[in-house]
Structure formats: structure tokens, C-alpha cells
Structure 1
Amino acid sequence: MPTPEEIIRTHDQAEMVRVHARPTGYTLRIEEPDPRWAQHYAVLERQIRAALGDRVLDIQHIGSTAVPDLPAKPIVDIDLAVADPVDEPAYVPDLEELGFVHWHTEPDWHQHRLLKQLTEPRVHLHVFGPDCPEMIRHQMFRDWLVAHPEDRAGYADAKRTAAARMAATGDDHGALGFGMRDNAIKEPVVLAIYERMFRDAGLLD
């Protein structure tokens, strides 16, 4: 299990190695909560488990589409743990058979691999190794927003603000890196929620 220090650590922007990343023409938008997001995740989980079998060490629906009553970009985020994310031949070809595209790798960020499905609703599949602290953070954040409507509302406001700012500057289209700019606008709100969440969990003094 990761240490508390590993769980609360916020990583700086890591080196990104593009594999098949390219502009997609996607326009950033925030939609009202849709129960079909959870239904789509359930289908994808079954497909991924069928394709990888016992190579799936953990799989979780994370991100805003995993939180009922939270407006979100219509992108289903999934965390997947495998034994060794660096061993791409052990899992990437089988995921590509399901329609995923290996988008990029981030070796300095827990050996993260991002795979995408570009059909609607879009899917971002994040691959990490066993007991990855980032997966724990994602699950904690999801569960905190489910349980705390005031923070859920604050995060929803931050998401709408970010989308509006990016639209106002014409920065809301699918150029490479636009997701990082969206995250940067939301970051103060997110970090404040993380601090409350970590303190409540006893991970901060």
C-alpha cells in the first residue's frame, strides 16, 4: 500500500511521450448528469475484463461521470491497474481490439498510459501499476464528491467557469494540451477539496 505521503503528493507536470496523440476537433463542453455514463462504464468494464482476464488487477469508474448529480464533460474516465504498465505488449493490443487508441505515456507519473476511445461518449482509460497512489486519490476524490454536496456544487461551478473561459479565448477545441489548460483553471478549487479530503482521512495534520 502507498504511504500517506505518497497519496497526498501532488505531482508537477510530467514528461509526456505522445504515441498516437493528435488534434481531434473535440470541443470542450459541460453536460448535465446523465445516467447513461454509468451504464456505458459498466459495459466497458465487462469488455475490458473479458479481454484481459486476470491481468486486470483493479478497474474503477472515476472522474466526474462517476459522480451522480455532477455536471461533466461527456468523457467516461476509467482507471485500470495491471501488473506492469511498462509491459505494453501484455495489454495494449487487446485493448486496441476494443477500439482504444494508445494516446500517450507519462513515465514520470507512475508510468501512466492513456488510451482513448474517440466515439461518443468518449472514453479515457488510464493505466497504472498495482497499488498506485494516484488511483487511490482518484477514488477518494470521487467518493468525497458523492458524499459532500457542497464541494460537488463548488466543483461544478469551477468546471463551468473553466469551460466558459476557454470558450471565450477560443481555446476550447481539441488541440493537444487543451485538457491541461482546463485542469489548470480548476486547480485551486480541486486542491482545496483535496486538502479537506486528506484532513478528514487523517492524512494531513
Structure 2
Amino acid sequence: MSRNREPRRPDVTTVEAVGGVESLGLELHEPDERWARIYREHRDRIRGALGAAAIGIEHIGSTSVPGLAAKPIVDIVVTVDDITAEEDYLDGLLAAGYELRVREPEHRLVRTPAHDVHVHVFEHDHPAVDDYLLLRDRLRSDADDRALYENTKRTLLRRQWDDKNDYTRAKTEVILAIKARAREARGK
């Protein structure tokens, strides 16, 4: 919830993964200059669908880092005023061709039918947004951390994963270490 005001209604209290558990079944692709273009196309689509309801739209994740190998999924974070006011953003995103994948406390995820673009929706002051941008900016600016992160992903993707969330959790220790160095570098 926004730290500055009361939400319109209580947020959800459980995690709803529309469609259930999915196997990973992906591998890393070499950096692709098309990822930035895909982000810009979807940024414009989202802006057109949401107008002023989208306070911020940022390219996040590995595809936002030039020179970094990635699963070919463009991740975007959209910030809104009130996550509980789904009528302000969810209907517009669904009408723009995205499908709801996850509804959980303080976060919604929609994606394209091809599963190649994931749109994470948070309130504008949610700490996860700063964390995404902190990691992205550190990976863009620090070659050693970028190489560490890519090598970690390559190692983990050699294993079979029954759920994408398990793969994501397996990267947590490395991500936390990179973000700690990023915070130290920016003096926080």
C-alpha cells in the first residue's frame, strides 16, 4: 500500500497464479538489441492503455541491461497510485492484450499471450520498484557484477526447474549481494 494514503479497499491477502505452476523450459539468449525496441513498443502500448494511471514505466530485468545474456522475456515495471484500485489499470491492460498471470499482495503481473513480455504493477512508492531499478542500474554500470549475475544464471539454467519461482529464488543470494554493493556505491 502507498505509505501516504489509505487504499480504496483492502488488498488481496493470498497469491493467485492464474494458470497454475509453469515449468521454466527456457534458456539464456545472447544479448539482443531488439529487446529495447520491444520495451519501447510495450511502454507506448501501456501508456496508451492507462494514460495518467501509469505514474511510471521502466524497463527492468536482464533484457534491460545491454550486453547481458537473458531469457528472452522483456520485464517492465509499471507504477500506479493504488494497487487495490484495479479498475484504474487492470481493465486497460487486459484490453491492450495482456493477460493476468499473478495477483498477490501489493503486486499484479500481466503478460503477453506469448509470455515474452511481463508487466509488473506496483504502487509508485513500493520498495520493490527501487530494488528493480537499483539492480538494473548496477548491472548496467558494473562489468564484474554483470558477469557474476550472468554466470550465476547460466549455472542455474543447467538444472531442471519445475517452477519459475524456484529458479528465481535460487538467484536471490547473488542478487542481494549485488544490490548491497550498489547501495554502498550510492551511499545508502
Range of TM-score over shorter length: 0.7 to 0.9
Q: CA separation in 2, counterparts of 1:119 and 1:26?
A: 14
Determine if contact 2:23/2:164 at 8 Å carries over to the other structure: no
Query: Hey, what's the Cα distance between the residues in 1 that align with 2:176 and 2:26?
Result: 22
Out of 96, 99, 103, the position equivalent to 1:98 is 96
Alignment match, 1:84: 82
Q: C-alpha distance in 1, partners of 2:187/2:97? A: 41
> TM-score scaled to structure 2, two decimals?
0.87
Whole-Å separation in 2 of the counterparts to 1:23 and 1:189: 24
Q: How does 1:1-205 map to 2 (within 5 A)?
A: 15-18=14-17, 20-22=18-20, 27-107=25-105, 111-119=106-114, 122-166=116-160, 171=161, 178-203=163-188
C-alpha distance 124-97 of structure 1, shift in aligned 2 (>3 A): same
* Contact preservation (8 Å) 2:156, 2:170: yes
Distance 1:185 1:161 in 2: 11
Give the partner amino acid of 2:186.
A
**Cα distance between partner residues in 2 of 1:181 and 1:28:** 14
Task: Supply the AA of the counterpart residue of 1:43.
Answer: E
1:125-152 deviation line (CA, Å, top 9, x unaligned): 1001122211111111101111001110
Q: Deviations over 1:144-164 (max 9, x none)?
A: 111001110010000111100
The DSSP-based 3-state class of the residue aligned with 1:59 is strand
RMSD: 2.0
Aligned partner letter, 2:139: L
Q: For residue 186 of structure 1, what is the amino acid of its counterpart?
A: K
CA offset at residue 118 of structure 1? Answer: 3.0
Are the counterparts in 2 of residues 116 and 125 from structure 1 also a CA contact under 8 Å? yes
Aligned length: 178
Q: Mind listing any 5+ residue stretches in structure 1 that lack a counterpart?
A: 4-13
Asked if the contact 1:21–1:104 (Cα under 8 Å) also holds between the matched residues in 2, the reply is no
Counterparts of 2:180 and 2:14, CA distance in 1: 26
Name stretches of at least 5 consecutive residues in structure 2 with no aligned partner: 4-12
Counterpart of 2:82 in 1: which secondary structure?
coil
TM-score by length of structure 1 reads 0.81
- The answer to whether the Cα contact below 8 Å between 2:22 and 2:164 also exists between their aligned partners in 1 is no
Amino acid at match of 1:192: A
Pairwise CA distance, 1:180: 1.6
